[in-house]
């Protein structure tokens, strides 16, 4: 069985190197392939298409808590009783600029402004536009936005203010999404991403692993992202939050996460496979995944949970031979 699976890995790797996309069925074949051979092949693909460039970003929780949506994994949802009691409104331009300057001093090149809620209202979109202009003027960082299910005209304003990328996670497959959230739909996610793309923003969209989804769901999610033109795919590992419906879910082990990142690399060979929330649960801060196809990360604290410091990540990237620099998005 191993020899047949190994041949499949080699054949699919050659197909990807030749510039072809692998299919859903071919990706599913990799689900049972020997892990060591699979991750080594994914790392070869990463080196071929992306070199040793590593894209590192930090995020700021610019508006926290009291979210109207019922995403079952989230500490900020108003539907659940969690330890996330530090709710606050949209941070001022001065606060965001101060935080952005701090991240610049630490060597961060990409800064993402994230807000809770279904969609930021127009008056707050305008406020964020002012913050983006200030950050782009005062720092060299590229600015990303994660402000919910906005309309094209709102994305256009943000693009004109200086934003370069929008983040809006699909979270999982179309099939499994209703098990994760009922207050908005998978199609609304897709509509927001398409609107952002029409506005000229590059796209960052991935999901959370360990919600109860299958490997087929994960593959379907990335194929949808690929069809939308997504260039950055965050891979979050579920951190079960007490008080949420997923509080008792078992965390995926590191080998499974490495298999996921490797298959995602086969599906999106020239993309940024970005380790995000939950990376601290892996035991090695994601090091094994960074030799299994992943080549980007969110560094520093997450929205409501502690992350891995920028300094620790910088040292890890140096150890692995990566060069931290911006991609084209």
Query: For residue range 13-51, what is the model confidence (pLDDT) as tens digits?
Result: 999 999 999 999 999 999 999 999 999 999 999 999 999
Question: Does any domain span residue 328?
Answer: no
Task: Confirm whether 189 is domain-assigned.
Answer: yes
Q: What is the pLDDT of residues 158-190, one digit of tens each?
A: 999 999 999 999 999 999 999 999 999 999 999
Name, in order, each residue with C-beta under 8 angstroms of 57's C-beta and a sequence gap of 6 or more. Answer: 108, 109, 110, 111, 112, 144, 274, 296, 297, 298, 299
Q: Is residue 38 part of a domain?
A: yes
Give the per-residue pLDDT at 302: 52
User: What is the rounded distance in angstroms from the CA atom of residue 40 to the CA atom of residue 91?
Assistant: 43
Q: How many domains does the chain have?
A: 1
Residue 190 belongs to some domain of the structure? yes
Would you state the structure tokens that stand for residue 92, as one six-digit string? 């001022």
Does residue 329 fall inside a structural domain? no
CA separation, residue 21 to residues 16, 31, 267, 272, 327 (Å)? 6, 17, 7, 16, 21
Q: Which domain CATH number covers 230?
A: 3.20.20.70
Q: Is residue 257 part of a domain?
A: yes
Query: Residue 71 belongs to what domain range?
Result: 2-323
The answer to whether position 198 is within a domain reads: yes
Average pLDDT over residues 101-126: 94
pLDDT value at position 56? 93
Length of the chain equals 329
């Amino acid at each position: 069985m191993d020899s047949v699976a190994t041949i499949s890995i080699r054949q699919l790797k050659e197909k990807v190197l030749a510039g072809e996309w692998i299919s859903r069925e071919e990706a599913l074949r990799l689900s049972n392939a020997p892990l060591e051979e699979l991750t080594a092949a994914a790392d070869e693909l990463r080196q071929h298409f992306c070199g040793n460039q590593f894209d590192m970003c930090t995020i700021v929780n610019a508006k926290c808590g009291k979210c109207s949506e019922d995403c079952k994994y989230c500490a900020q949802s108003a539907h659940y009783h969690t330890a996330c009691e530090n709710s606050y409104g949209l941070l001022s331009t001065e606060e965001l600029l101060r935080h952005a300057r701090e991240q610049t001093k630490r060597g961060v090149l990409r800064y993402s402004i994230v807000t809770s809620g279904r969609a930021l209202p127009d008056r707050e979109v305008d406020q964020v536009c002012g913050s983006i202009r200030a950050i782009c003027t005062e720092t060299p960082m590229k600015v990303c936005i994660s402000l919910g299910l906005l309309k094209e005209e709102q994305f256009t304003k943000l693009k004109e203010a200086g934003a370069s990328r929008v983040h809006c996670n699909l979270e999982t497959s179309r099939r499994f999404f209703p098990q994760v959230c009922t207050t908005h739909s998978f199609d609304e996610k897709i509509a927001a991403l398409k609107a952002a793309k029409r506005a000229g923003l590059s796209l960052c969209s991935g999901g959370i692993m360990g919600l109860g989804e299958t490997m087929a769901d994960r593959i379907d999610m990335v194929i949808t992202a690929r069809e939308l033109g997504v260039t950055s795919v965050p891979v979050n590992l579920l951190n079960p939050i007490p008080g949420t419906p997923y509080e008792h879910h078992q965390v995926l082990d590191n080998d499974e996460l490495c298999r996921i990142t490797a298959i995602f690399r086969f599906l999106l060979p020239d993309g940024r496979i970005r380790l995000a929330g939950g990376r601290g649960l892996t035991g090695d801060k994601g090091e094994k995944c960074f030799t299994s196809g992943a080549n980007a990360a969110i560094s520093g604290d997450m929205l409501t949970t502690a992350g891995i410091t920028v300094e620790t990540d910088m040292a890890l990237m140096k150890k692995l031979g990566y060069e931290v620099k911006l991609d084209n998005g």
